[in-house]
Each structure stands twice: as C-alpha cells, then as structure tokens.
Structure 1
Amino acid sequence: MLMDKKSYLFSDIINLPGISKITQKILGKLCGTRIIDVLFFRPCRYIDRRNHPLTAKSGEYVTFTAKINMHKPPAVRNKPYRIILELEGQQLTLIFFHYSVKYLKQALPIGEACVISGKLETFLEQLQITHPDYISLDISSFDEVCRIEPIYRLSRGITSRKISKIVASALKIMPEFPEWIDGNFVEEKGWLSFKISLSKLHNLDSLEEMEMCRLRLAYDEFTIQQIALRVARYKQMKEKGRKFLVRNKYKDQVMRRLEFELTQDQIRAINDISNEQQSQHRMIRLLQGDVGSGKTVVALFAILNAVENNCQAALMAPTAILVEQHYSWFKEVLSGTDIKITLLTGKIKQKERKTIMPALQDGSLDIVIGTHALFQERVKFKDLALVVIDEQQRFGVMQRNSLIQKGNSVDILFISATPIPRTLRQALYGDIEHCSLKEKPKCRVPISTVATNIKKTSNVISSLKRAIDLGKKAYWICPCIEDNESLSVAAAEERFAQLQKVFKENNIGLIHGRLEQKQKDEIMLSFRVGEISLLVATTVIEVGIDVPDATIIVIENAENFGLSQLHQLRGRVGRGDQPSFCILLYDKLNKSSHLKLKTMRESQDGFYIAQQDMLLRGSGDVLGIKQSGNIEFKFADIYKDKELLNRAYSKAKDIVENDPTLTEIQNQPLKELLNIFGYNEEFEFLR
C-alpha cells in the first residue's frame, strides 16, 4: 500500500536490505538514522565516466572495453607494473605502483576482454591509466560503470559505492507524491516532480540536470521551512505574554554610571524592545549588532524592565570568560541600586551553589548571568520573565529551550555579534522582530588594517616589540587549521616559543582551547590587568573578549579564516579611544583569499562583511549553524537561491495568513512534505 511505503520512509535504515549494525551506525553519523535521511544524503560531487579514451582529454575519466595484450613486470624493484591493453587498434597502458602480481594476473589474464574505468593520462604521447577505479572481466557491467557516478561524503568503514547501492535500495520503495507547487511555476522553471528530482540527484543522466533537480528540492525545502517558522511565530504571537509597566525606575542611576553617550541606534533599539515588553504578546526578538556597537547595554535596559516589574532575568553566554566579563560590567553599572545579581558557571563551587539556588527559587536574586550551567535541572526560578541569549547561534535549539521553559511566557532576546544579512536572517528566523546596531560609540577610533606577506614576519615582530616597549598590549592569533584542534594548538605553542625569545623582558602569555577553564580565566585576567602585554592565542578569544587598552592584533595566515571570523577577531582591538591596528599576515593568496583581505582592508562594516562572507563561503558556515543544532539545509543555499527563498517566503505568508494553524489546508502533499523535511504536527524542529 502507498501509505505503508510512506511510513516506511521514516523507519530506521536497518530495515533496508543488506544493512548491518555497523553500517547503520556509520550512516547514522553521516546523514541520519531514517531511510528518508539516506535519500536526502546529497552527493558532494560527481564523476562523469562516460568519456571514451580515444576522444577524451588527459585528466578526464573514461570507461571502455579492451583486450588484455601483455603484462610487463618491472625489471627493477620498486618500479611500476604495466599491463598493455589493445583498444581499437591502439595501445593503452595500465600502471600499478602498489600491486600483487598474483592478483593482477587473476584480475587481468592475457587474451581476455575487460571493462576498465579510471582517469586518463598521457605520457610521451602514450595513453595510460594509473590504478584504474574499476576492473572487471564481466563485459555486461559496462553500462553499470559507464555513467555519471555520485560521490558521497564518507566516514571510515564505508565506501561511496556502498552508499550508492543503499540509496538505490531506498529509492525502490519511495512512493510518488502528488504535485503541490503551482503548475505554471513548475512549467516556467522546467522542473520535474519531487520524487524524480530526488532520484535523479543520485542518478544523473546529464550534469546539466543536477542543478535543475537541486533547485526544485531547494524550493520545497525553503517553503516548508518558512511555513513552519510562520506557524510557530503565529502560535507565539497568540500566547499571552508579560505586560510590563515600564517606569524607568533605574534608568537615571544607570545612565550616570555609563562612561559613554548612547548612540541613536541604541536608543532606538531600547525603545523598540521596551514597547514590545509593554505589549500583551510574548517578545521574541533578535538584536544584531556589529562588533563594539553596544549590544550588552541594550540588553541591560531590557533586563531592567523585567526587574522593576518584580520579575527575574537570565543572561546566557557561551564561555566563562564572556560571562564573567558581563557579570563584572553589570555589577559595576548596577552598583548603588537595590538589584541583586549573581554569576553561575561550571566552576562555581558547591558551597556557593547552595546559596545561589535557593535565592533564585525564592526570588531573592533578580539577575543571573551564566553559561551552560543555567540549563541544569536544579536551577529553578521564582518568576523568570526574560531570557537574553548572547551569541545565540552557539547554543543548540534544545539547550535554549531548556532555559526558556524555566519560566512562564518568557520574553526572549537573542543577541548576535555576527551581523546577519537579511537573506540569512529571513531563512533562520522567518519574520521574527529584530533591531540592528550599526553605529559605534563616538569615542571609538577606526582600526587601521594592513595585509603583509608572512615572509615579513620578522619586521612585524620588531615593530610589535617597539610598541609593547612603549606600554601597548597586543594579541597574536595563530593559524586556523580547520577541523584539527591539535594542529592549531601546536602552531600556537610553536609561535609562542619563538616569540618568547624576542620578548624576554616582557610578559607573554598563551591561551588555547586545550587549557582548563581556570587556566584560561587566569591568563585573560593577567592580560586585562597588564601583567601580560602580548597574548598568543587561537580563536578561543574570537567573541566578546573586552580589553579596552589592547590596541594591536596580528592574525597569522589570515587567508585561512572566514571573513566574519576575521572581523570578529579584529574587533578585539579598537574598543577604547586609542588608535588601533590589525595586521593580516598571509602566505599564498588565490582569487578568493585576495578578495577576502581586500574587503577587510577597505571595510569595517560588519553587515557588509557578513554579506561578502556569504558570497565567498556560502551561507552554511557564516554563523557556524551546522555545529549549533540550528537549521541545516540539505538542498538549498541561502545566498545562491535567495530568489527562491523570497518566493517561498511570500508563498508561506499567503498560506499561513489564510490558515494559520493549517487545520483547513486542503493540500495534502504539502502536509506530507512538512513531515518529510522534519517538522511534526506542532511544527517544531524534530532535531
């Protein structure tokens, strides 16, 4: 039955034929645990094996049948083994550097015909293939090999061919779905059905149809996700929230303690948030701002509105360093008021916790600032009314919800220090209310940014030493080595050892992710108070660290960092009223990395830089959303497909405005797609 097949799609992959427990575990890590997850496991690239060696160019993949003419073992050890094939009156040589003579004689016996596929090479005008990908004496296998082969992201214990067979098995049980997209739009785009598009991504007839099929599925994905966001937003708006009475009880006291004048952006954001807190609906708002634009100040006034209504507020940040920084600043600004504030991190001792927990539960404490420690089940509040989540993209969905659920109709203020381009914000949040801070306090001086070849590192070190001798503070950021923390730490330790020889009379520190939190905090404190003048670091200091008198940052191998990450790192300086400098050390530049450094030199606008980052890297990595538990699109690219996103946004708006709970919707395929793309009946994210 059709419904049985649809249900089968959501069953465990172990139900597919030939899937062992080991394969189940590997696929679970690669793509997910359900059959539909395997179908959505998109190839990362394709190899076109349909070329013929007599017409193909060197470097192209070819597939052909030929007669095995001769074996030529090497005359000298450690030299390649050659097998000569006869191909339509010409010779083609197979080259093997690592081989078993016994295997080669069995696999390719002289006089037999065989099917070969591999990358074509020419050497001294002779055709050859080194270590063919496919060797078979079964001539009937030619059609199976001579195709556009999908290549999948792999893990130890599984091959791309094995995944391809599993996908083929899953496709056999996939049912057809009635079309839900307007027929005129499908015809205009030349799209195929949902099932055929998904099937062809794994079995292309031509490379040209790959993008057409992906775009069809991207539109499905965008539309379903936007519908889910709109329904969730509708439900949130229907929820009755806290209607605060904003009297600005603490405003004058706090304003007197601020050492700067609020920008117009800050004033506008504070007013917008206060107005929403006074409404009868729950506030769910995104506050995004450039580096150093004063987001924490805006968050403080939102917190004060909650506190003056006899409610509690929690501010959560991803690192102990950032949390302690927030806590110190809040304590200083709120001194002289009757507001009670506490700090809660993983390193708070049990004795202190025994005091903090009851005080939160009985309402004696008004504000708590903490890390992941706030998620703990034993952390309870008397009346939590506002949650501020700093660097929200670094927390998973479930983590955020575990804190939000500790109160009743809690208002939520998300803060992002990575400016989010409109397209990305729209995809991640739908039509969530937001406010942006682009202005910086008037006391801030623009940062001078230069790019220098790494061969001139000795000159940079000499200039840095002169500056530190004059009392300046500096960061030295070591190379970003993707997906290998051990190598990143090793690079930092090596640079630290080199710099120690130069800065003998100056205190120099080293900080990286392998250190215990206590060690990190002690080193940062030493740098902040001036016991350390030069801090060698990995990207552990990327976000939120505020040392106003640090005025120089050197970023080594800057071409290996993302644009937004470079902007965040640069933002560690220029936080006071002194001239600041950013030196980007580069090694080898390609077109992309040259544009990256050019953008950094010419602009300090985080919103523009984030937009350029999307252009260079695609959307998935700008906020690190793949690591955070947020939405990860399988087919769509937020930047490349923004025309489709805009259409999906409008389509979802029309659907949900006419039927906000989707209870009366007649489009059954649309409901099925909500399930297929990972949304349940409540339209919450299943992951």
Structure 2
Amino acid sequence: RFSLAQDEQPSGAALAPLRQAVRGYSSQTLPHRRETVRELEALLTDLEPAAPPETEAAQTVSPAPDPQELSRPVRYAKGVGERRAKQLAKLGIETIEDLLFYLPRRMEDRSQIKRIAQLREGERVTVRGRVRAVEVIKPRPNLEILKLALQDNTGLLYAVWFNQPWLKSQFAAGERISLYGQVERTYKQVQLNSPVWEPADQPFLTGRLVPIYPATEGLKPAALYRLICQNLERYREAILEILPEEVRERHELLPRAQALERIHLPGSLAEYEQARRTLAFEEFFIFQLGLARQRRQAQSQRGPELEISDERLEQLLARLPFKLTGAQERVIAEIRNDLASGHPMNRLLQGEVGAGKTIVAAAACLIAAGAGYQATLMAPTEILAQQHGERLRAVLEPEGVRAGLLVGSLSAPEKESVRRAASEGELDLLIGTHALLQDEVHFKRLGLVVIDEQQRFGVIQRAALEQKGANAHVLVMSATPIPRTITLTLYGQFEISILDELPFPKQIRTYWLSTDRRAQVYELIAEQLRQGAQAYIVYPLVEESETLDLRAAAKMQKELAKGIFKEFRVGLLHGQMKAAQKQQVMAQVRSKELDVLVSTSIIEVGIDVPDASLLVIEHADRFGLSQLHQLRGRIGRSGQKALCFAIADASSEESRRRLEVFRDINDGFAIAEEDLKIRGTGELLGISQHGLDTTFRVADLLRDFKIMKEARAEAERLLEQQPDTPLLVEFQRRFGASFDLAHF
C-alpha cells in the first residue's frame, strides 16, 4: 500500500499503464497472471515518490537485531504465530534460536536436471519442462487422482497426486515447472508419484542441494525450511561469534553465522560438511570447557590423605585364594596414588564382567580404614549389597576392618543400631543400598565413597551420598563397559581406570535360536542338568510392568517344574519377593540345592554363582545389548565351559542386529561400541541419569570422535590461559546448572 501526500498523487496518465495491465486479468492463464503481477510491481515501484534528501541525523543504518532476540519465544519469529508455534514445540523448538539451530537430518542432491528420455526406474530425479495437460480422474468413490503431463524436448512423463484435486488450479498448460520425485514405469509410461513441484523460474526445492528436516504433523519439511530461511535472513546479524578467532584459524572453521547459513543453504556437499564440522566443534568445545573447569576445581580442593604401608596391603592380597591380574595391580596402584595425593579422587573404574572390581574396591576400603577414615559402598539392589557385604567382610574383617550392612529389609532397631555405629565411628565400612542416602545416616569421618553399578543411580543420588563426607574420595564402578567416546564426553571430569584382563578366559558359547527350536534347547539343558550343571532361565520385563513380568516367570516356573524339568529342583526369583525370600533362594542356588533358577532380569546385576554354566534368555529381543551381556556374565564365572541360548523371533532390523552382535561378540568393550552404533547416543546420555543435558544439536559422538578430541585440547588450552573465561557462562546456558551436582 502507498500513502502519498496530496501533491504526490499520480496523474491519470501515470495510472493508465496500471489500468491496461489489469485489463482481462480474470480470464488470463496462471502463467499470464504471474507475469501481470510482476509487471504491476514494477509499475508501482515507478510511481513511488523520490525520497527527500536525508538530513545528517537521518542518515543512519538500520540497527542489527539484538542477540537477546534469539532467546524470545518462537511465536515471535517471522511467519510463525501461535498455531505454528505449537507445531514447532513438538519438535523441541521453543525459541527463535532453536528454530535457527534446527538442523537438517540429511541433504538431498536435487541439483542435476535430467532429461525425460534419460530417466531410469527407481532413481530420484529433478526434471524441468512445460505442462502439456492436467486433469482430475475419479476412478472410484473417495479417490481422486490429479494427473499432469510434463514435456521436455526429449519426451513426456506424468506426475500423479492422490486426493489433492485443488492442486489443479495451481497449474496451467504451457507453464514451465520443475518436479522432483522417484521414477516409476507403469504401462509404458514414465511417472512420478506425489513429486515436489515449483515454478521453474523460482527454484527453492529443486535444482539445488536441499536439506531435509525432521517434521511433524501439520508442518511439512518444505514449510519448515522456508521458516528457517526467512528467520536466518532476519536474525543473521544477531548470531554472535563464540569460538576464539585463533581456534577457528587453527582448525579451518567458519565464522558462526556463515556456518549456520551454509548448513541450511549449502552450495555443495563440501560446504555443508565444513559448516557441520564448525558447529560440531563449537558444541564439543563449550562442553569440554565445562568439564575441564570441573576437573580443575576438584584438583584445587584439599581432600583427606589416605595412605597405607606396603606391608599391610600385601598382607591383604596374600590372603586371597587367587593371584591378582596385571590390570588389577595397575588399577590398585592408580587408586592408591589418588588417595594419598591430598586431593579428592574422582575415578571411574570399568571392566568386563568378572574382571574383579570387588577386590579393587576392598583394597581402597582397607586403605581408608588404615588411615583412620570410614568408607561406604552403595549398590543398586539388596541382593548385590548383601553379596558385597559377605565378600568384603570375609576379606577385610581379618585385617581388622569393622563392616556393617544397611538395607531396607532390616528391622527398625537393626537399622538404628547400624546408623549409630556409623555415626560414632564404630564401623570402618558401611555397605548398603539407597538406604544410605537417608538423612538419618551420618558418618564420623567419611573419607571414601564407592558406588557400584553407577549407571543405575541418578546424579542427585550420587551427589547426596558424596556430601556425607567433606571432600571425600569417590570411586564409581561400572560393570557395563562404556564406549571411549562416551567416557571422554560424559565422564570427562573423571580419571578412568580399566580392568581389561580377566582372571581366566571365558569359555561361553552363545546361540540365537528362533522360538520353534525352544523344545530342543530345553532338552539339551535337561541333559546337562543330569550331569550336574546349574541353569538360569530368564524372562524379560513385559512393557515395563513388574506384574506382567511376575506372572510370566511364576507361570513358567510351575510349567517347567511339572514338565521337562520335573526330575530337577526348580526355583523362582523376582523383584517382588521379600528380601528374606530372595536371600533364601540365592543361598539355595549357591549351595546347589536348586538345579534351575527361573528369574526375571534381577539376576543381571552382580549375582555371583561360580558353578552356573547354562543360561536361557526368553524373548531375548526385549533386552538391550548391554543387558544381554550382563546376563551372560552370570555363567562361566569359574572359567568352566558354558552355554547361553537367546530365544527370540526378532521382528525389527535393530533387534536382529542386536542379537547378531550378542551371538558373535563376547568382549564387553566391543559390544559397547556396537551398541552405540545401533542405538546412537540418545539413549546412553541424558539428564535423568547424568545430570547434564548432553543433547548435542549437531555433533555426533560416534562420527565426530576426532573433532571431539581436538575440541577437548583447545578447551584445555583456553582454560590454561583464561581460567575464568566468559565462555563458561555459555556452558551453563547450554548444558544446565545441574552440572554443579555432577561429581557423579
């Protein structure tokens, strides 16, 4: 619209071309109408009055958008509004910045324009030509087919859209358009079903490299792409640089705004990859900066100095009925150095199932007790806590270490007695479950916190236990090997110890069998039982329902006991049993009073029955890969030959891949890497377990491991030069203040 002063109104002669241009508009074809609109725009531009000369004060450049604008709700972005903001929220897009950083899932190369005569069935192509005809066909009720004939100078093809008759008004015979889609050949015709289309002279979704975005109901990828491009143009100047210039130069990275532009509007795949690499580096750099700061803060704190004589430690090790592996000796030495350093230890101990983490923990607890401090060990289940209690008492009490157990099944007077002993210093070691986190639990002089199966505790729980001792040393243990990419990212503030040797080679053969071979498996199990073997038969959680899980396990225990295993003693173990019942069942298994134990996945965590050599995992496709490997770790623990049978009719490609890896690979670290490839990092990282929002927008831990190592080195270098760099604020903004709790 134009608002003109009275003396600026155009004359009738000036308006004549406008009248001429619009004459006959209603009867024009669509291409002619478009040409008319362009002509009108040009004529109206000519009618605009010349701007008056600017005064010096008026000669100002329009200010760049304020960077704070990017944090505004996305409904204020260009072209969004309330309705579309709700659609964007389903994609996790809450702010304008989220919209700009909503990155493509992949790139589709639509740059090559193909001639119709060159088209081959199955390929995805861009073609350009003139509309020869367009019609709507109704072959049956509730089905309308829009069919368009497109011709170039080499041939003819047909484009087909289903139940979109309104599209007909968008096309006109003779108009030049571009189409993109998959080629099909039907009845000697070349056809594209539901192709992308646009006017040939307005290439946006064809004739170039086009990013493809994850979309949601009501918001097509193309519409989302237009929104992103509109707002990228509007807010480009508000995108501030984050990486120091010298870092960008060393690693040949783009300026931030340019990287964002090229990732959405790349001229080539090389441009796209350079942009993606720049933004991935930035994410890793900021994340590693926060982790490096955490490490430095820990190193600057004073912790209890826990030292022990060589003689006392050797006395403990001499009592063991086995010789330590080289890996155990190395890790004990690493922990011993940490405890004596005067700085709080923050160490992650991981190892293969059966690698001997418990004796390492025992050595650490002895060092603490020998220095006059207390230690505590928290396990995720009561069965595992009791097992630790039995083993650690057997090893440590002869050395004068007073150990106690605090679990939920104790009576109130028993709990009170244990708590009093810990608070008055009458216990050197307190082993327990979540009960250790209660406010009533106090220590007189806590110097060491050991957390077993650490991945089963949230960050809040771990921090609560650590806070019961002033700058106590922390040792967390994981029986699930963690991929190196994850340890350097999520556990970047830890020192890492790895038990990469087993006391003896595992001799477990694993088979994946379909359900129609179940009878054969159970016949083989029965044959082995007659020779004195012991077996576990495991059922999964069904839809994460303990009740359903209990019914399945209980029913099968009865059926097996009355059927194929009627000559054997068949027990049952599940999570809803009382603690005393669980203890009784496990005691029966260890003493060989039971031949078969039908169980839920409760046996996954740390159950140690040395003689068990047979395992059947029913519905194995319901278990995760690391969980399957943990279950397999329950057999063959004395080095004997063992058999594992995974029974499942895997219905999805992912479950088939998971079971193939489980069948073919016995090494836990190799399994962890394969699990990462299959599942990606999404399920391995998250606020609920780790206290950090480790959702990377661009970076991929598996693909970008090299970039992460480079970013980590640069983060360390910057922190060395600027310990209080303002970029730490960016870390808190992106990854959350909950990081402050993350001593893990």
Unaligned stretches of 5+ in structure 1? none
CA distance in 2, matches of 1:69, 1:537: 66
Alignment of 1:612-623 (within 5 A): 613-614=675-676, 616-617=677-678, 620=681
Q: Secondary structure at the match of 2:481?
A: coil
* 1:255-310 deviations in Å (ceiling 9; x for gaps): 57644333332233223312321222111122222210111111122122223334
Look up the match of 1:327: 389
1:173 to 224, 235, 238: 235
Structure 2 partner of 1:628: 689
Q: Which residue of 2 aligns with 1:446?
A: 506
* Range with bigger deviation, 445-454 or 621-630: 621-630
CA offsets 1:553-598 (integer angstroms, 9 cap, x no match): 2456778876655433321212125322234567679999999878
Matched AA of 2:331:
A
Give the structure 1 partner of residue 366 of structure 2. Answer: 304
Q: Distance in 2 between matches of 1:472 and 1:19?
A: 68
Of the candidates 646, 649, 654, which is equivalent to residue 717 of structure 2?
A: 654
Deviation at 1:205, TM superposition (A): 4.8
Residue aligning to 1:403: 465
* 1:92 aligns with one of 145, 154, 158: 158
Out of 53, 58, 68, the position equivalent to 2:122 is 58
Deviation, structure 1 residue 547: 2.3
Displacement, 1:409?
Answer: 0.9
Distance 1:32 1:107 in 2: 30
The letter for the 1-side match of 2:532 is: G
Q: CA deviation at 1:357?
A: 4.5
Amino acid at match of 1:472: A
Structure 2: distance between partners of 1:43 and 1:295: 44
**Equivalent of 1:74 in 139, 162, 167:** 139
Residues 393/338 of structure 1: CA separation in 2 closer, same or farther (3 Å cut): closer
Query: Counterpart of 2:354?
Result: 292
Counterpart for residue 264 of structure 1 = 326
Give the secondary-structure state (helix, strand or coil) at the position aligned to 2:490.
helix
Q: Provide the C-alpha distance between the structure 1 equivalents of 2:269 and 2:341, rounded to a whole number of angstroms.
A: 54
- Classify 1:527/1:310 alpha carbon distance in 2 versus 1 (closer, same or farther; 3 Å): same
| Residue of structure 1 equivalent to 2:735 | 678
Is the 2:533–2:612 contact (alpha carbons within 8 Å) kept by the matching residues of 1? yes
Residue 264 of structure 1 aligns with an amino acid whose one-letter code is G
User: Which structure has the larger Rg?
Assistant: 2
Alignment partners' CA distance in 2, 1:207 and 1:487: 50
For 2:294, what is the secondary structure of its paired residue? helix
Q: For residue 521 of structure 2, what is the amino acid of its counterpart?
A: V
Q: Which residue of 523, 528, 531 corresponds with 1:462?
A: 523
Verify the 8 A CA contact 1:489 1:538 in the aligned structure 2. Answer: no
Question: 1:569 — aligned with what?
Answer: 631
1:637 is aligned with what amino acid?
D
Equivalent position amino acid for 2:304 in 1: R
Instruction: Write the deviation string for residues 101-120 of structure 1: whole angstroms up to 9, x where unpaired.
Output: xxx44454697579976655
2:36 is matched with: none
Within 5 Å, give how 1:405-554 maps onto structure 2.
Answer: 405-430=467-492, 432-441=494-503, 444=504, 446-454=506-514, 456-477=517-538, 485=544, 493=552, 496=556, 501-506=563-568, 508=570, 521=582, 525=586, 530=592, 533-535=595-597, 540-554=602-616
Deviates more, 1:219-228 or 1:361-370: 361-370
Contact map agreement 1:50 1:63 (CA 8 A) in 2? no
Alpha-carbon spacing, 1:403–1:162, altered in 2? closer, same or farther (3 Å)? farther
Contact kept, 8 Å, 1:508 with 1:536, in 2: the verdict is yes
Distance in 2, matches of 1:105 and 1:20, equals 29
Q: Distance in 1 between matches of 2:87 and 2:196?
A: 28
Tell me by how many angstroms 1:386 deviates. Answer: 1.4
1:643 maps onto 2:700 in alignment:
no
Q: Deviations over 1:133-158 (max 9, x none)?
A: 768xx96996455472432276x897
5 Å-filtered alignment, 1:42-191, equals: 42-46=103-107, 54=116, 55=119, 57-58=121-122, 60=124, 66=131, 69-75=134-140, 81-88=144-151, 90-92=156-158, 94=160, 96=162, 104-108=164-168, 119-130=182-193, 132=194, 143=203, 145-146=205-206, 148-152=210-214, 167=228, 171=232, 172-173=234-235, 175-178=238-241, 180=243, 186=249, 189=252, 191=253
Distance 1:167 1:319 in 2: 49
The equivalent residue for 2:42 is none
Relative to structure 1, is the Cα distance of residues 467 and 124 closer, same or farther in structure 2, using a 3 angstrom cutoff?
farther
TM score, norm. by length of structure 1: 0.78
Amino acid across the alignment from 2:160: L
For residue 341 of structure 1, what is the aligned residue in structure 2? Answer: 404
Uncovered stretches (5+) of structure 2, i.e. residues with no partner: 1-61
Find the aligned partners of 2:228 and 2:344 in 1 and give their Cα distance. Answer: 44
Q: Confirm or deny: 8 A CA contact 1:393 1:623 kept in the other structure.
A: no
Query: 1:232 matched to which residue of 2?
Result: 294
The aligned residue for residue 7 of structure 1 is: 68
Deviation at residue 466 of structure 1 after TM alignment = 1.1
1:319 Cα offset (Å): 3.5
Partners of 1:404 and 1:528 in 2: CA distance: 34
Q: Distance in 1 between matches of 2:535 and 2:354?
A: 18
Q: Residue 443 of structure 2: SS of its match in structure 1?
A: coil
- Paired with 1:465 and 1:582, the residues of 2 have a C-alpha distance of 14
* Structure-2 change in CA distance of 1:567 and 1:3 (3 Å): farther
Displacement of 1:389 in angstroms is: 1.8
CA-CA distance at 1:339 after TM superposition: 0.8
Change (3 A) 1:677 1:203: farther
What is the letter of the counterpart of residue 287 of structure 1?
L
Give the alignment of 1:269-288 within 5 angstroms.
269-288=331-350
Counterpart AA for 1:447: Q
State how many pairs are aligned: 660
2:75, 2:84 within 8 Å by CA — same for their partners in 1? no
The offset of 1:390, in angstroms, is: 1.8
Q: How far apart, CA to CA, are the structure 1 residues paired with 2:189 and 2:548?
A: 48
Partner of residue 379 from structure 2, selected from 317, 340, 343 = 317
Deviation at 1:19, TM superposition (A): 6.1
Counterpart AA for 2:295: R
Greater mean alpha carbon deviation, residues 278-287 or residues 672-681: 672-681
Structure 1 residues 134 and 356: CA distance shift in structure 2, 3 A: farther
Greater length-normalized contact order (CA 8 Å, ≥ 6 residues apart): 1
Separation (CA, whole Å) in 2 of partners of 1:597 and 1:370: 35
Q: 1:355 to 1:598 in 2, by over 3 A?
A: same
Amino acid in structure 2 at the alignment position of 1:549 = D
CA distance in 2, matches of 1:517, 1:579: 33
**Amino acid in the other structure paired with 1:305:** I
Preserved contact between residue 179 and residue 196 of structure 2 (Cα < 8 Å): yes
Local SS of the residue matching 1:74:
strand
- Give, in angstroms, the shift of residue 465 of structure 1: 1.9
**Identity within the alignment, %:** 31
Secondary structure of the 2:681 match is coil
What is the CA-CA distance between 1:403 and the residue it aligns to?
2.2
Alpha-carbon distance in structure 2 between the residues aligned to 1:520 and 1:142: 74
